[in-house]
Structure 1
């Protein structure tokens, strides 16, 4: 690692939470002679790159900043460098650095942009500076609750890649997702609390926290569902409930365990072919007291792709026509060469185009790729 990168890391660690980009700019001007440093954060909808310092949003797909964000690689254009601000698969945005002497400087600048991404993730829970700046409009209160609850929007390591997205991004109500991994397994869930507005978001919050609490106790997927079911029933007595799809993937073997508690659709994309996985439909969480949940198992092959898709996708309506299975299957096939984040972004972008605006119902799409046992498993003890 070069000395400028080391100094940038030290400057970022020492910087006040609101001055991360300013301290990077000072160092880049001193070390590289670069000027006009700006952080463009991707907005909640994945549709705009918004400058932290204010100014015009970048929306044109062919812009160098978007090419950098989409391909996750540095772009050099007209003496300006665009560097991905990403960490562990979570794409936060793009760092623009003007007056870059040549493309040979991009490698060191990329390391600094990655260090910035790590520091942004570290300070984000304690400041509103970066959250506020990445909004192209105000979030509803229900949406604020939902976004605060998410584990992130994308995640990757050698054995898997994972991404999810909510719509309508600035007004989502009850649909959400959750995930976690420990190097041997990855868990994923889609969670849809019934109702509207804050009522739905609070129900989803209870379900998410109950599922996390059960998962962290180290119990089986079926028992996780049962404990969350009981927590919701104890509070609401069956009057409110949550449709949930729970998955647990063994990253060594590819064995997928699933519990379908009222969630509509799990789709497998294998070698370009789409197949809906028929799961046993069980009661939503909290509908009845003492529900017993059963697990199902599916054997994945390396490079399989899974989609978890809420009913708001299929039931979206434009000009009195439902989006439906045909349009969804077509879009799923088109995502084959895309990363999971680009896949969910494309599906929901197509959905917005279909309805010609914001969705009237919530929609959530989660995409999970399993690449097979990789280095991160081989280095762990059996």
Structure 2
């Protein structure tokens, strides 16, 4: 393995980690990360956020010790995760000085990384606020995040850390089909959240960015459990195949109609919103297949619902070819949701409703990164239920903004 470089020891640590992880299994990743920072006089503990985004759970490794899950709310580590920021903590109460930093795959929030100064190593003079030290931490943390995302598909260990209970068969199917929960490019942010994550029925979402075109969609197949999950899987696959063949929005909807009729004729239907956003001009075109209308939020207030582009739900062949259109302004947010959000009912039978949803969006607009806005919105809706959720609850937020992009980058 490499030896530390006296001029900038992080270079050696990064090279060392790359060499160590080329053949590493997912369950070996935490140990290799810890070994790579040991020559710098540091320990490393990886915490991954659970599927519900309520706790940060330690990945077993040599530096994990007796580490316990950490709540996302009202803790230092949780604040680092929520705000995508860094926080140094001075030594005290028997604990060494340490740095909490967000763990990201690009901009997808995976959890947090704790780097602590090892006692008795001759590195007690490490300055957690030093710019060169933080620059090294940043590059090292980016690499760890990418490695986690790369290693997850090759085993179960990292997935199991993120789960607190058994996942249903339908959820297992859909989670493997969904894209990452957050995507950020230079001109836009896309973020989504799906609950209850262990028992997903027919909800889903998708997006794809190529050149100036951003496609995004949300789905809700009628029914529950595996039948609904299969319907959403068929719809997503048909739309992806048609999109990659160059079909327009109407063509995507008709491809889904044909696929449901061919493979699941007994299934009733899938509601959906399919949209294209031109990242150069802000022109948004969309088709609404029987789904709740998206909300347009501008300058922290609800402008209106996007009520155009109506057609019958997917699977119910519709001769209409209406396509809705809206021109966004820089900073506009488009919120898509399934009815599991707005139809959540409390003990008195009162629905969560669109007005409450819009009010929470207004409250958090511009104050929080898009993924954190959705996390809070979804948890607020779920807490409104009197008992277990009766339906899937999915939210998707698309923001056309340079400022939103900057808010997604780590803050030292």
Are 2:72 and 1:64 aligned?
A: no
Residue 146 of structure 1 is matched in structure 2 by 174
Instruction: State the SS of the aligned residue for 1:139.
Output: coil
Is the contact between residue 229 and residue 285 of structure 1 (CA under 8 Å) also seen in structure 2? yes
Give the CA deviation at 1:301. 0.7
Among 41, 47, 55, which residue is 1:33 paired with?
41
Among 338, 344, 351, which residue is 2:374 paired with?
344
Residue 147 of structure 2 is matched in structure 1 by 119
TM-score by length of structure 1 reads: 0.92
Give the CA deviation at 1:300. 0.6
CA distance in 2, matches of 1:64, 1:305: 29
CA distance in 2, matches of 1:270, 1:142: 36
CA distance in 2, matches of 1:316, 1:217: 38
1:179-236 alpha-carbon deviations (Å, 9 max, x no partner):
1111321111111111111111111111111111111111211111111111112223
> Aligned pair in 2 of structure 1 residues 82, 13: CA closer, same or farther (>3 Å)?
farther
Are 2:49 and 1:42 aligned?
A: yes
1:230-267 alpha-carbon deviations (Å, 9 max, x no partner):
11122233642111110111111111110101111200
Instruction: State the SS of the aligned residue for 2:294.
Output: strand
Among 11, 15, 18, which residue is 1:2 paired with?
11
Is the contact between residue 340 and residue 367 of structure 1 (CA under 8 Å) also seen in structure 2? yes
Among 353, 358, 381, which residue is 1:329 paired with?
358
Give the CA deviation at 1:60. 5.2
Residue 159 of structure 1 is matched in structure 2 by 187
> Aligned pair in 2 of structure 1 residues 280, 182: CA closer, same or farther (>3 Å)?
closer
Give the CA deviation at 1:20. 1.7
Give the CA deviation at 1:5. 2.8
Residue 22 of structure 1 is matched in structure 2 by 31
1:143-200 alpha-carbon deviations (Å, 9 max, x no partner):
2122111101111122111110111122121111111111321111111111111111
Residue 410 of structure 2 is matched in structure 1 by none
Among 222, 242, 249, which residue is 1:221 paired with?
249
CA distance in 2, matches of 1:243, 1:272: 28
Is the contact between residue 56 and residue 72 of structure 2 (CA under 8 Å) also seen in structure 1? no
Among 310, 322, 328, which residue is 1:281 paired with?
310
Residue 87 of structure 2 is matched in structure 1 by 75
Is the contact between residue 254 and residue 372 of structure 1 (CA under 8 Å) also seen in structure 2? no
Using the TM superposition, name which of 162-171 and 354-363 deviates more: 354-363
Are 2:138 and 1:107 aligned?
A: no
Q: How many matched pairs?
A: 372
Give the CA deviation at 1:330. 1.1
- RMSD over aligned Cα atoms: 2.1
1:112-155 alpha-carbon deviations (Å, 9 max, x no partner):
11101111212222211111111122212222122111101111
Is the contact between residue 260 and residue 280 of structure 1 (CA under 8 Å) also seen in structure 2? yes
Larger Rg belongs to: 2
CA distance in 2, matches of 1:335, 1:159: 20
Among 378, 383, 394, which residue is 1:364 paired with?
394
Superposition pairs of residues 134-213 of structure 1, within 5 angstroms: 134-213=162-241
1:290-337 alpha-carbon deviations (Å, 9 max, x no partner):
645432211111111110011111111011111112211211101202
Is the contact between residue 54 and residue 72 of structure 2 (CA under 8 Å) also seen in structure 1? no
CA distance in 1, matches of 2:77, 2:167: 25
Among 219, 227, 231, which residue is 2:259 paired with?
231
Instruction: State the SS of the aligned residue for 1:317.
Output: coil
- Listed as ranges, the gaps of 5+ residues in structure 1 are 376-382
Among 313, 318, 331, which residue is 2:346 paired with?
318
TM-score by length of structure 2 reads: 0.85
Is the contact between residue 191 and residue 244 of structure 1 (CA under 8 Å) also seen in structure 2? yes
